[in-house]
Structure 1
Amino acid sequence: MLVLLIGISGFSHAALPRYATELQKYSEFDKPSADAIRLRVSVATENASRPEKSVATGDILLCGARECYRARTAGLTAMHDTASGKASTLADVTIPRITITDVYFSDPGKSGLSGQIKLQAPLIIEKDFHGIEIFITVRKQVNGQRADYVPAQSTSMYFNTESELVHYSPAIATVAQLSRGVTLTIPSAALDRPHLFHVGVLDVGKAFASVDIFPYTALNKALTVDATALRAPVTSDEQIVPLAPALDAASAAASTAVPRLTSHITLPRTGVIEAAALERAAAAAPTRAVPEANAAKSCAEYLAQPVVFSLLNLTLLQTGAARIKACENIKPYVHMVYVNTADKRIRFSVPYRLSTTGKGHAPQLGLQRITEFTPSAIALINGFTWEGDYGLVAGGSGAAEGIVRSAGVALGDNVIGGGRMCSGCATDTLQFVMGFSTDLARPDFFSTRSPNAIGAYSFNTVSPTNSVVKSGSCQTPGSPGRWTAVGASNGRMLLVSSTSGGQTSAAELCTVFKALAINNALRLDGGPSAAMVVSGTVLNELTGIDRIKYGALRRIAYPLRVSH
């Protein structure tokens, strides 16, 4: 997968290719397709320089081995360095998914930007991305009466507009003011070549935001991140948080007075900087009576402490649900919500939206981000997989795989291709089913291929092919990844989803469920689908290449919802 391409300058006022297909300016109504992608071309001076407001520009030609495409510019552009992490956008167009080998800047007929740059390796534009930017550093060159800017080096990066791009040139330090009170500083000579960094600042409901700086690479000199707190830090006696509408509203009101707390962290490489790391750097977590999460080596060890287990069950008796924050910073790095299913206030459901445009096995479900299904739930996690669109953009659809019921409505009958049973449909592989009747406190778990076997447990039902724990026994360990899981036993339900940067296996998840005496649990969809929302806050937005593809969240077929 292409992330970075370096170009070398070939300035010579070279003759432009004679024929070029003109590109259309990008519109916000354009959607990524299998054939075309959004392309931006940006420039900045290679070295520290005084900004110029009006530098003449001509057309830009983007050429491959067999074809060229022409992007029109405004005729004038501002020209400045990358001290603030920004560059000037010359063109923003829609281009076919071609391979680009050369970029030409046509002579504007006077002093300005002109020349050619040949990419060191061909830029192969791939599918499944929203856009790509080519960033070119330029240097000033005086030739007689003309003072031209000529291309020096280039790089490229896929992007998603839900995040921020930081432009970097090695000759000068970059200090980028990002959203949510975050400042990223990359010193000069931290890298040998220009770079584009795709940066996501994620509000994960903690004191500080998490910061995702992609691509992940080692640096010659350390970067720094400075952050201002978004809310008061969590103390150790708040590792178990009651979840109830009245209490949550009070907590929200109390958190409006944010302390003037700042954090400074230095790192030798780019990557995911967790909110907890920024909080530790701020030395902002006072100690209280409940055991600290970092006193335990694992989540299972933390949960096994009698005082923790007692406090959890006391909280469930009071409010019906609790968020366990302690396991977000120790293995297996997961967000957790623990639910008292015997509490008559608690509701469990499988919300969905039918698609009016989807094609394939019925019913076609509209793919939505988990936050679009309901704003008022205590907690939501993603469900299982579907057959259909990838969930990259709005408007997609798919048919639920496995056996799925929502308030008695059949959404999936475990047929190949997803959806309900139909004439000629073939049954899919063995499923591990979690089924509920109208009595939420007494779920049933069993393995079957047939939807007819679910019997009375057909009010709310979900089934993947994999289990985490079955009848008290841990199942196949599996490879580490981002996962979501759900289990229930003895009037308790546990919802689990990996943190943004967390990686875990089924074996590690099993120890967490068993620590709370939950003897049956399903492993739901994972990877970019893994998501959890608690009291309206997304706890594990996407990072890295998944964030570039899907944005903050992937669109899914349905979630599992716990509400009052």
Structure 2
Amino acid sequence: MRYQSPLKPSPAWAALAASFMAPWDKPDHEMCRGRDDAQVISYPGGSSMSYASRVTLPLLCLTTLLACGRTPESADPYALSVLNETAGAPATPFEPGPIPADQTRVRVSFIGDVPNLPSIGVRSVFLCSTTCTATGVSGGVLAGDDGTGRGKLFSDVTLPPSRIDRIIVQPDPAAGQPVAFRTLRLAQPITLQAGERQEIFLSLSTVRPGDASSLEVTYLGTAPLPPTAGSVVAYRPDRAMAWPAGSPMGLAMAAGSLKEAQLFGMELIDTGGIVPRVAVWPALKTQDPMTVTLKVNRDRIAKGLTAADYKVQLADKTTPAVTMNGDTLTFQAKDLSGAQVYTDRSVIETSSGERIALPGKTLNAASISAQDTSACKNSLTARRAEYEQYFADGTDAIRIFDCENVAPYVHIVLIDRSNRGRTVDLPVTPSVDYPGKYVLRPITSHGTGAVVAINGFTWDGDKGTYMGTGYGTPLGTLITAGTARKKTSTTEAILGFQMQPADRSKGTSAEFFVGASTSLNFGTHNYNVIGSTTSVIRNGACNPNLDTTSVNRWSAVGIGLNRMALVSSTSSGTSSPRDLCSVFEGLGYLSGAIRLDGGPSAAMAWLGQHINPLTGSDYYAFGNARNILNALVWK
């Protein structure tokens, strides 16, 4: 047989090669797209085909297969190209900490439609917009329905903001049973917002009822959640759901309680009460009552009371029936937002952590109109002598519970400024990178080591969300430890404090000022100075110009009788600035009081615990607490 150069194939070979390559003349390599069928190619010339042709033809076939993303042995049946999709760069795993301001935190979970499903093998879950982004690491996923609504987390990543309209679960037979490989097209795209957290749940079910050998994945739902939400639950209307019994919180919902499937986040927040505060987002308002169980911390029940002395108050100020079984408190409600446990008895807590019920009942919160502050004021007036006795016995700070469940719905801490063991501080953290600006921090950070901390006045700068580190500059007069941070020329109400002697030979003197700070002489009360645009108490009485219509969350601080009162709205409590007068009038602290920042900034930490964490839309935007520029602390 005569040798023939591979550079000059025989006429028969050239004709075959031209026929084989003809499909590549079509646009977009149509031969590769969706072709699972094999082409049968006959060798020209039978056994007389040249040696070079016999070598070159397989090489050409191999080149063609590789160009199509295939191998000569077998094509990958789970390649994205099979679904006519392309993959971009994989997602970045989420690192614990703040969500980057230019990214979205995305968590993908699986939940079984029935119990006892086998473990499935998942190579990746692709979230698709213009291209598809791989999330997660290949592995087995065991996601049966255990009745709690909990899913099995597969991936926790960060992605740039985008609109997701397709989801693809890529099987991995080596890691578990494969599922149907297909594109899930979303009727409502998922919008990923910068700096936020998005939960996605995928439902795992059998293709044929009762046959676990054939499984498929469908899209269940999505929800944006607050950054601090710990547990994520999927409610499905076709079945009942019960959060695990024996945990600090139990939640049972009947089938049909909601019309559509709903993802929601739950968080139990320790605010120092006998039960934790329940935070739920999005807010649940069900057609049938939910059954809630909470574990009672008996060590926190006020001395002189039992668990039976406590009640539950809902957002609409109603009090559902409560049952106690051992250490478990149970009640039912259709709306959990604003639910809190309280007692009608008058309770105080000292700076040493001793919680005491004062003699006699004080008020019936359920019988008082929403904005009637008289019950709060009258109770404070009636208890003045008892508060003073605790100060006389050496207590330097007292928390009062009487006005937390009646208007103006505030936490109150009284401070004996004549006590020499502690003093006032206005902590700030100057920015190293941005001179003249200050780092925004949560109230518990400002209050490290303090008996009590309350937010300061407002600032200009970042909003104080959970996205990275924020900075700001004070808008009101602020002098901390003798250093002027800000002095304005606008009319203000100001509290100034003397520097306590190094030997602590006396307490902390304070004085109230009104006027332009640049023209005021603070005298010796210039060591710690905090200003506001609004006075609550001035000239020994309630400021007659106070707004009575701007209902919001507020904080305030006032002085009188060598004492000081810190006041901050409860988590779900709101009031007008005028309503705050009732606290200082009831206490008789009439030397002067100023309103501090309000809304999501209103915050108080007592004995190291944040006692009024955020709820509702503020909880979604900021988490449990907004980062603030400064605080007033007693330490």
TM-score bucket of the superposed structures, by smaller chain: 0.7 to 0.9
Taking a change above 3 Å as real, the CA distance of residues 489 and 119 of structure 1, as seen in their structure-2 partners, is: farther
Partner letter of residue 527 of structure 2?
F
Which residue is equivalent to 2:142?
Answer: 78
Q: Report the CA distance shift for 1:209/1:455 in structure 2 as closer, same or farther (over 3 A).
A: same
Query: What residue in structure 2 maps to residue 437 of structure 1?
Result: 498
User: 1:554: Cα distance to partner?
Assistant: 2.3
Q: Does 1:100 align with 2:164?
A: yes
Aligned-partner Cα distance in 1 for 2:391–2:344:
31
2:391 is aligned to 316
Aligned to 2:335: 269
**Most deviating of 316-325 and 170-179:** 170-179
- Which of 361, 365, 370 aligns to 1:291? It is 361
CA 1:527/1:307 → structure 2, altered by over 3 Å: closer, same or farther?
closer
What is aligned with 1:245? none
Q: Note closer, same or farther for the CA distance 1:191–1:516 as it changes in structure 2 (3 Å cut).
A: same
Equivalent residue runs for 1:220-299 within 5 Å: 220-232=287-299, 234-235=301-302, 260-276=326-342, 289-294=359-364, 297=368
Pairing 1:186-225 to 2, within 5 Å after superposition: 186-225=253-292
Q: Is the 8 A contact 1:208 1:278 kept in 2?
A: no
Structure 2 vs 1, CA of residues 127 and 456 (structure 1 numbering), >3 Å: closer, same or farther?
farther
Q: 1:30 to 1:460 in 2, by over 3 A?
A: closer
Question: Which stretch shifts more, 29-38 or 184-193?
Answer: 29-38
2:414 is aligned with 1:338: yes
Q: Does 1:370 align with 2:443?
A: yes
For residues 215 and 196 of structure 1, the distance between their equivalents in structure 2, rounded to whole angstroms, comes to 8
1: CA distance between counterparts of 2:149 and 2:215? 23
| Paired position in structure 2 for 1:87 | 151
Rate the CA distance shift 1:405–1:49 in 2: closer, same or farther, 3 A: same
Note the C-alpha offset of 1:504.
Answer: 1.8
Q: Does residue 325 in structure 1 map to residue 404 in structure 2? A: no
Q: Distance in 2 between matches of 1:464 and 1:67?
A: 52
Structure 1 counterpart SS, 2:364: helix
Whether the 8 Å CA contact 1:497–1:532 is kept in 2: the answer is yes
Matching residue of 1:133: 199
TM (normalized to structure 2)? 0.72
SS in 2 for 1:289: strand
Q: Decide whether aligned partners of structure 1 residues 546 and 180 sit closer, same or farther in structure 2, where only a CA change above 3 A counts.
A: farther
Asked whether the equivalents of residues 78 and 88 of structure 1 are also in contact (C-alpha less than 8 Å), the reply is: yes
Q: Tell me, yes or no, if structure 1 residue 62 matches structure 2 residue 122.
A: no
Offset at residue 119 of structure 1 (A): 3.2
Q: Does 2:115 align with 1:45?
A: no
Task: Name the residue aligned to 2:615.
Answer: 543
Pairwise CA distance, 1:542 = 2.2
Q: CA deviation at 1:154?
A: 1.8
CA distance in 2, matches of 1:278, 1:22: 59
Q: What is the letter of the counterpart of residue 101 of structure 2?
A: A
Deviations 1:442-488 (A, max 9, x none): 41221325376545432111112233333323312252222211111
Shift of 1:215: 1.3
Structure showing greater Rg: 2
> Which residue in 2 is equivalent to 1:248?
none
Match of 1:506 among 574, 577, 601: 577
The Cα offsets for residues 492-519 of structure 1, whole Å up to 9 and x where unpaired, read as 2110111112122212112222222233
Letter in 2 for 1:431: E
Q: CA deviation at 1:300?
A: 4.2
State the Cα distance separating 1:336 from its structure 2 match. 0.4
Structure 2 regions of 5+ residues with no counterpart?
Answer: 1-79, 306-324, 346-354, 500-506
**Partners of 1:526 and 1:97 in 2: CA distance:** 31
1:379 corresponds, among 447, 452, 461, to 452
Q: Which amino acid aligns with 2:105?
A: R
Instruction: Percent identity, please.
Output: 26
Higher relative contact order (Cα pairs below 8 Å, separated by 6+ residues): 1
TM-score where L is the length of structure 1: 0.81
Q: Tell me the secondary structure at the aligned position of residue 112 of structure 1.
A: coil
User: Are the equivalent residues in 1 in contact too, given 2:396–2:416 (CA < 8 A)?
Assistant: yes
Q: CA deviation at 1:404?
A: 0.4
Change (3 A) 1:22 1:183: same
- Does the CA contact (< 8 Å) of 1:138 and 1:149 recur in 2? yes
- 1:353 lines up with 2:429 in the alignment: yes
Q: Which amino acid aligns with 1:398?
A: G
Q: Which runs of 5+ in 1 are unaligned?
A: 1-12, 239-258, 280-284, 415-426
Find the aligned partners of 1:536 and 1:455 in 2 and give their Cα distance. 33
Instruction: Determine the structure 2 residue equivalent to 1:484.
Output: 555
Q: CA deviation at 1:73?
A: 4.2
Further displaced range: 395-404 or 88-97: 395-404
Counterpart CA distance in 2 for 1:72 and 1:17 is 21
Measured on the aligned residues, the alpha-carbon RMSD in Å equals 3.3
Does 479-488 or 106-115 show the bigger shift? 106-115
Instruction: Tell me what 1:390 maps to.
Output: 463
Letter matched to residue 529 of structure 1 = S
SS in 1 for 2:105: strand
**Structure 1 counterpart of 2:627, one-letter code:** R
Aligned to 1:40, the other structure's residue is in SS state strand
Q: Write out per-residue CA displacement over residues 192-229 of structure 1, whole angstroms, 9 at most, x where no aligned residue.
A: 22212121212221211121222113212221111111
Cα distance, 1:299 vs structure 2 = 5.2
Name the CA shift for 1:180/1:409 in 2 (closer, same or farther; >3 Å): farther
Label 1:333 to 1:16 Cα distance change in 2 as closer, same or farther (>3 A).
farther
The answer as to whether partners of 2:91 and 2:134 remain within 8 angstroms in 1 is no
Of residues 385, 396, 403 in structure 1, which corresponds to 2:477? 403
Q: Which moved more, 1:470-479 or 1:183-192?
A: 470-479
Q: Kindly indicate whether the alpha-carbon contact (under 8 Å) linking 1:37 and 1:97 is maintained by their aligned counterparts in 2.
A: yes
Does 1:458 pair with 2:545? no
Looking at structure 1, the residues matched to 615 and 91 of structure 2 have their Cα atoms a distance apart, in angstroms, of 31
- State the one-letter code of the partner of 2:202: I
Rounded Cα–Cα distance in structure 1 between residues aligned with 2:598 and 2:391:
27
Partners in 2 of 1:182 and 1:398 — Cα distance?
Answer: 38
Q: Could you tell me which amino acid in structure 2 is paired with residue 60 of structure 1? A: V
Contact 2:548 2:576 in 1 (8 A): yes
Task: Give distance in 1, aligned partners of 2:264 and 2:291.
Answer: 14
Counterparts in 2 of 1:200 and 1:75: CA distance versus 1, 3 Å:
closer
8 Å Cα contact 1:22/1:71 also seen in 2 = no
Alpha-carbon distance change, 499 to 374 in structure 1, aligned in 2, over 3 angstroms: closer
